Amino acid sequence: MSAYRQPAVAGLFYSAGYWKLKKEIQQFFDNVTGGKNFDNIIGIISPHAGYIYSGQTAAYAYSLLKGKNFNNIIIISPSHREYFPGISIYDGDGYETPLGKIPVNKELTCEITKQSKIIFKGKEGHGSEHGIEVQLPFLQCVFEDFKIVPIVMGDQSKMFIDELAEKLSTVVNEETLLIASSDLSHYYPVKEANQKDTFLAEKLSQFKFEELYLDFQNKKCEACGAGPILAVMKTASLINRRKSVVLHRSNSGDVSGDYNEVVGYLSAVIYGE
């Protein structure tokens, strides 16, 4: 009997109907302007709010993947609702969205969890977590046949970031894509939010992930998925893909009109020479 993790935020963060969701994502793609092409892509950073707020920003990253040959997608999310001391890779058969089922790559999962005491197969963090789920319909609109490795970081401290990056660096190849799922600063007035988010974007563009770790610690910038962002960047560094470009930025006030307390969003691509 197969075990597919059912959608938790369909109808809340994005449309629950097949055709309505397809149309919603296609409209985001149609609105992407100034599209560039990047070779040797290893990863993207994509926001995970409701599509009405962050879907357009996410589309700037996903539009780069059209025509690329990625068969294995490793998605790393923070755990918003559940703390656990470790990193959990979903141990079921896959994830399901209104656009269909996506299987987990169990062989790749075993490679990543092998001989690790802190990266394990389980359901911790996956139940109602939206950070992975909201990325999947975009992937389903870009790729026809792929598998995923859904990873939730219950603890984003340096020890966990470092081990995850070390493990991922041994399994990625030309057909593997890494996705860091993260929003930026939360609930600051727009001027303060922009200062924090611009600081992060500049360090990201300069690929200074080691400095960025300290900046997160010192509260110079914020991201709920700081761990996923740093893990993807360190993995890329370990395999000599040390280029990154911020593609698009926005905040919740752009949609709500309320700039007193905004959430920041960013999409970026990470690639090599």
Max CA separation in the chain (angstroms): 52
Backbone angles phi, psi at 210, to 5 degrees: -70, -40
Which residue from 180, 138, 248 is spatially nearest to 44, judged by alpha carbons? 180
Domain range for 104 is: 4-271
Per-residue pLDDT at 34: 82
Per-residue pLDDT at 2: 72
Domain count along the chain: 1
Rounded alpha-carbon distances, angstroms, from residue 273 to 48, 145, 203, 269: 28, 27, 19, 13
Per-residue pLDDT at 206: 96
Dihedral sign from CA coordinates of 126, 129, 131, 132: positive
Instruction: Provide the pairing of β-strand 94-97 with 4-5.
Output: parallel
Per-residue pLDDT at 36: 82
| Integer Cα distance of 127 and 81 in angstroms | 9
Other CB atoms within 10 A of residue 25 CB: 23
Task: Give the tens place of pLDDT for each residue, 136-175.
Answer: 999 999 999 999 999 999 999 999 999 999 999 999 999 9
Per-residue pLDDT at 1: 61
Dihedral sign from CA coordinates of 5, 100, 98, 180: positive
Tokens of 34: 């100034």
105 CB-side CA count, 13 A = 24
CATH number at residue 33: 3.40.830.10
| Integer Cα distance of 230 and 148 in angstroms | 20
Task: Give the tens place of pLDDT for each residue, 197-236.
Answer: 999 999 999 999 999 999 999 999 999 999 999 999 999 9
Tokens of 51: 């599509």
Contact assessment for residue 44 and residue 179, using Cβ atoms and an 8 Å cutoff: yes
Extract the residue ranges of the chain whose pLDDT is less than 50: none
Reading phi first (left if > 0) and then psi (alpha if -120 to 50, else beta), residue 21 is in alpha
